[in-house]
Amino acid sequence: AALGDPRILILDEATSSVDTRTERLIQAALNDLLKNRTSFVIAHRLSTIRNADQVLVLDQGKIVERGRHEELLAERGFYYNLYMSQFRRRSEVEEATLKPSGNGTFNAGALAPA
C-alpha cells in the first residue's frame, strides 16, 4: 500500500505469488499508482514491467540489456528468451484448460508446474 503521495516507489515482486486473474487486477491498480512517479519495479514476471519506460535486464548481477519492452523483444536477445519462455508456458496452460474432453465438456487440464 502507498501511504501519502510518495514521489518514488520501489516494488519488489509485486505479483510473484498470485494467479493470473489477481495479477491483472494488481496490474490495473499499479498502472494508476505508478503514474507521474519515479518507480523501480523488480520482477521475474515480465508482464509486470511491460509498460515500463525503461527495462534493465540483469543476468548474474550484470545489466545485459536495456530498453523498452517492445525494443527488447525486437532485439530477440536475453529478454526476448525470458519473455517467450514465460508466455509459451502460459499459453500451454490456457490451451490445456480449454481442451475438449471428448464428452462435450472441457478438461481442467493437468500440466506439471514448471
C-alpha 84/C-alpha 39 separation (Å) is 25
Q: What is the pLDDT of residues 78-92, one digit of tens each?
A: 999 988 888 776 555
**Considering the chain, what percentage of its residues have pLDDT values greater than 90?**
24
83: enclosing H helix or E strand: helix 78-97
Q: Which residues on adjacent β-strands are paired with residue 67? A: 55
pLDDT at 57: 92
- Compute the radius of gyration of the chain from its Cα atoms: 17
| Start-to-end C-alpha separation, the chain | 30
- The CA-atom distances, in angstroms, between 106 and each of 25, 91, 99 are 26, 16, 6
Residue range 38-46: mean pLDDT, rounded:
81
Q: What is the pLDDT of residues 3-28, one digit of tens each?
A: 677 788 777 877 677 777 877 887 77
Under CATH, what is the fold of the domain 8-97?
Rossmann fold (3.40.50)
